Structure 1
Amino acid sequence: MNYYRKVLLFVAMLIVCFASVSTVIPNVAKAEGDPLGINAEAAILLDAKTGKILYQKNPDKVLGVASMSKMMTEYLVLEAIHNKKITWNQKVMINEYVHKLSAAPDLSNVGLTQGEEYTVKELYQAMAIFSGNAATVALAETVAGTEKNFVALMNKKAGELGLKDYNFVNASGLNNESLLGNIPAGGPNEENVMSARATATLAYRLIKDYPEVIETAKTPKLHFEKDGRDYPNFNWMLPGLIFEYKGVDGLKTGSTDFAGYCFTATAERNGQRFISVVMKASSKDARFTETRKILDYAFNNTGEEQILPKHYQVKGQKSLPVVKGKGDKVKIYTKDPISLVVKNGEKENYKAVLVLDKKKLTKDGELTAPVKKGDKIGYVTLESKNGEDLGFIADKNNKNLKVDVIAAENVEKANGFVLMMRGIGGFFGDVWGSVSSAVKGLF
């Protein structure tokens, strides 16, 4: 009886062990594939200052972007204003098509009356805050004459901004079938598409090139003077809204049947700004709950670290030889420090690499006197110690990781007599060396 009891106990222990293994293994696999467990088709997280990628899931999968594509319309409108092609107070007359589109059922819109004038600013606010589709078309026509021309500008600008994996077929992000037969580009059922990487690149450039975009994006509610109505911002993570998150002040939501629920967010705390993108989340609320996970990770598990201090000297390359100077070498160091937002514990994963300006060197790698303190000699950049791509969204040359290397002291040019004596000394030194070699050869 005691024997059977032991056997049963052994079998029970085996069952427990197998059950534990079956529950642990999936979690390990999940952690390796997506450490944050984001419930969306694709996602990405950036440091908004440098564009460094801090997290990504399927970043290059091309998906529908819906109204997040209005960020490109915002970029082109702000660019046109900066270039003085249009003004905020410029009046826009609403045509029949834009009026009808603004009244179309089941579309996000601020009502626009045919024959009435609205300012560019009013239309921009309707687009950026309440995602007004008809207002977006009106702005596109104002900037480019027709929405068809504007779509061509969108695709051209995407290339200029360094986006990859994108295609714009309209200004609003709607499915073309919703445009009442006025299709500017593409097929009758096409939509705008981008990857999470491309979407994040667009948001990164929009904030960097036109930071004033935040002033409108952070408005929780639009009061539209023309009809006296209030329109809520679809970004429910803004202050006072249902998914309020400390620091969130933008940027753009989007949803269609094809794209699912999407959200490009940006948040700033204590001078540190992040950009996140969530694409094809499972529900309207999920795009915000999943964004919260990403931003929590950003603020709790990353931080700005000084990777190299000011006046850093690369090991083994702390000075350069100098010819025709009172001294024969000069100390060199970095002009400024290099700081970078990195994941906790990853500060030591970087190494400094010195790149000298060959135009300032002789064929033997020497500087020619005089050398002044502060003269730029080259630059120091960072590389990963294990050779991995450091992951910058729009900077393949790591420009954000470069700092000038300068001369740390003066080296004056030697006078003619000193140079002559050095030449004579060098000559006799060479002669003596030749004689010594010849004498040694006799023995």
Structure 2
Amino acid sequence: MKGMFRKQMVAIVTVLTLFCSMFFTYSSAFAENNSALNVEAGAALLVEANSGKILYQKNADESLAIASMTKMMTEYLVHEAIAKGKIKWDQKTKVSEYAHIISQDRSLSNVPLENGGMYTVKELYEAMAIYSANGATIALAELIGGSEANFAKMMNDKAKELGLQGYKFVNATGLINKDLKGKHPEGTSPDDENKMSAKDCALLAQHLLQDYPKVLDTAKITKKTFQKDGKYPIDMSNWNWMLKGLVKGYEGVDGLKTGHTDQAGYCFTGTAERNGMRLISVVIKTNSETARFDETKKLFDYGFTNFQTKTVYPKASQVKGHETVHVNKAKDTEVPVQTKKEIVLPMPKGSQDIYKTDFKAVNKENEAPIKKGTTLGYMTVSAKDPNDVGFLTGKSMQVDLVTKQEVEKANWFVLSMRSIGSFFSGLWNGTVDTVKGWF
């Protein structure tokens, strides 16, 4: 009997051990703080670009100096100004004395600009995006904002609009203000420097890639000559050494922005795509020019080795149990809704059912008429694991549920009949309640 009991206990312990092992594998599926990666940086982050799902993080919320990674926000505002028709790529702008003076300092990253010289927006943008040229960046900021001080305000306003949390923009370039030759923007001090958290850098990069995907057309250029046929042509080499053909080339890398100051260390916000999955990485305060790429490689290797993406809901899908939303005064009061966009999520390879969904109504009364494509509710997606750190936007991501077609208002006769019906229904219910009270 004792031998049989001992064998039963061994079997039970074995089963429990296997169960715990399975649970541990599930609960740590995303390994957001996987110390085995040993990313040597002041802060680091890896996310899947489409959903913003965090795959790894280290000190991701601390606001830190970010040097020329600042220029991602300048790039965003340039693309936005182009999209809104405020400026054009072939438009020429005159270089101010300030932009000229900064551009002459070759100890900083620069292409020399003539004082009063005329350059196209595209020329200045390419100098900024490829070579991180600071004088060219200031010239663009002055064109769009009127002054760098006004442009810095635009940067902070846009950061708030995009949902960034730990940011501070004092200039357009990411230089320390004391490097601006005493001409730092009004209202800032010589010691001021731009700051963002790693999470903010990734969120800004995500918006830049999703809102203006053509940003990669320039970001992936490895070499180009500034004003090739001009008086002072300058050869520009991309500081992103992970681009194909460069010294730290990595398959799939096509952006995005490097940075360096003494305070920020060597930084890099990178992006790479393989097999339909795009990742965004951030490293801040690494120890050398090559280290920022070596640490980024660790992140990309981890992401591409352990994860794959899966389309959970195609665009225009209906959510089970929430196929319709009630709309007052509509011809048909139960209105069909569908997902506004497809939902693609990263999955640990070999795992499937790791997410859960929920429904959230809009915070207002819906009343017809309503246009096609109007948001009437939201589907939220979150990890089943309660310890999961979630997405760039929080513990869950939110997807709009929109009307499939225009929602017509019912005519006066139908509305009148509904009112009469509601009146008698209320009257009947009140009578029933009264009668119940007698007994």
TM bin (shorter chain): 0.7 to 0.9
Query: d(CA) in 2 for partners of 1:379 and 1:182?
Result: 48
Unpaired segments of 5 or more residues in structure 2? 1-30, 326-333, 367-374, 405-416, 418-423
Structure 1 residues 341 and 405: alpha-carbon distance in aligned structure 2, compared to 1, 3 A threshold: farther
Query: d(CA) in 2 for partners of 1:268 and 1:193?
Result: 27
Q: Normalized against structure 1, the TM-score is what?
A: 0.72
The match for 2:305 among 300, 313, 333 is: 300
Aligned with 1:169: secondary structure? coil
The match for 1:234 among 233, 239, 246 is: 239
Q: Which residue of 2 aligns with 1:96?
A: 97
Q: Which residue of 1 aligns with 2:84?
A: 83
Q: Which residue of 2 aligns with 1:392?
A: 391
Deviates more, 1:388-397 or 1:65-74: 388-397
The match for 1:286 among 279, 287, 291 is: 291
Aligned with 2:247: secondary structure? coil
Alpha-carbon displacement from aligned partner over 1:171-201 (angstroms, at most 9, x marks no partner)? 1111111111101042112211111011111
Structure with bigger gyration radius: 1
Aligned with 1:139: secondary structure? helix
Q: Which residue of 1 aligns with 2:40?
A: 39
Deviates more, 1:85-94 or 1:57-66: 85-94
Conserved 8 A contact 1:278-1:291: yes
Query: d(CA) in 1 for partners of 2:37 and 2:318?
Result: 38
Runs of 4+ in 1 over 4 A off after TM superposition: 30-33, 306-314, 317-320, 332-338, 354-360, 376-380, 402-406
Query: d(CA) in 1 for partners of 2:73 and 2:184?
Result: 18
Q: Which residue of 2 aligns with 1:58?
A: 59
Deviates more, 1:188-197 or 1:91-100: 91-100
Query: d(CA) in 2 for partners of 1:298 and 1:81?
Result: 34
Aligned with 1:157: secondary structure? helix
Superposition map of 1:214-229 within 5 A: 214-224=216-226, 225=228, 226=230, 227-229=232-234
Q: Does 1:145 align with 2:146?
A: yes
Alpha-carbon displacement from aligned partner over 1:296-344 (angstroms, at most 9, x marks no partner)? 1111111113556977746xx9999xxxxxxxxx9x9987985411333
Superposition map of 1:66-77 within 5 A: 66-77=67-78
Q: Which residue of 2 aligns with 1:197?
A: 199
Structure 1 residues 308 and 178: alpha-carbon distance in aligned structure 2, compared to 1, 3 A threshold: closer
Q: Which residue of 1 aligns with 2:158?
A: 157
Unpaired segments of 5 or more residues in structure 1? 1-29, 321-329, 361-375, 407-415, 417-422, 435-440
Provide the identity percentage.
Answer: 48
Structure 1 residues 383 and 183: alpha-carbon distance in aligned structure 2, compared to 1, 3 A threshold: closer
The match for 1:344 among 336, 346, 349 is: 349
Query: d(CA) in 1 for partners of 2:401 and 2:389?
Result: 16
Structure 1 residues 386 and 148: alpha-carbon distance in aligned structure 2, compared to 1, 3 A threshold: same
Q: Normalized against structure 2, the TM-score is what?
A: 0.73
Structure 1 residues 404 and 171: alpha-carbon distance in aligned structure 2, compared to 1, 3 A threshold: closer
Q: Does 1:274 align with 2:279?
A: yes
Query: d(CA) in 1 for partners of 2:75 and 2:401?
Result: 33
Give the letter aligned to residue 254 of structure 2.
D
Aligned with 2:51: secondary structure? coil
